Amino acid sequence: MKNELIFNSDLHFEHKQWRRELFFWEDELKSFKNRLEELVIRWTDKNMLAQLDHYQNQFIIQENAIDELQKDIHIHETNIAESSKNGYDVLDTLFVKKHIEFRNHMETQRNIYNNLKKEFFRFLSEFM
């Protein structure tokens, strides 16, 4: 089995991609929340308002998850920068392991977010 070197620049590139994706999600959530506000004005039915409240809560949970991911990326970037500053362009096993765990976390969050989006769009198509 061949050992491959993982360079700081490779991880930095992936971090930039994740940040763009997270910023996009933040922007989408603003739009979804605006949509909810429109619906709250239109509907007085308690069941409908409960569903709107559910989505509002889910969007807040997503915003918090995005904030946490952004913080984690920043911390990882700081660690990589420190490693580079000390003359290490190739990461040690611990950094790589952390990065892989973070990649898995990002993938899980991506699935959660996409499922919420699908559910919300189905909801909108039913009641708009």
Give 7-43 pLDDT, tens digit per residue: 666 777 888 999 999 999 999 999 999 999 999 898 8
Average pLDDT over residues 86-111: 80
This prediction's pTM: 0.81
Q: Read off the amino acid at residue 103.
A: R
Q: Do the domain assignments include residue 24?
A: yes
Distances (CA, A) of 53 to 17, 22, 45: 32, 23, 12
Task: Tell me the residue range of the domain where 17 lies.
Answer: 8-127
Q: Do the domain assignments include residue 44?
A: yes
In total, how many domains does the chain have?
A: 1
Residue 2 has pLDDT above 50, yes or no: no
pLDDT at 75: 87
pLDDT above 90 covers a percentage of the chain that reads 52
Q: Do the domain assignments include residue 52?
A: yes
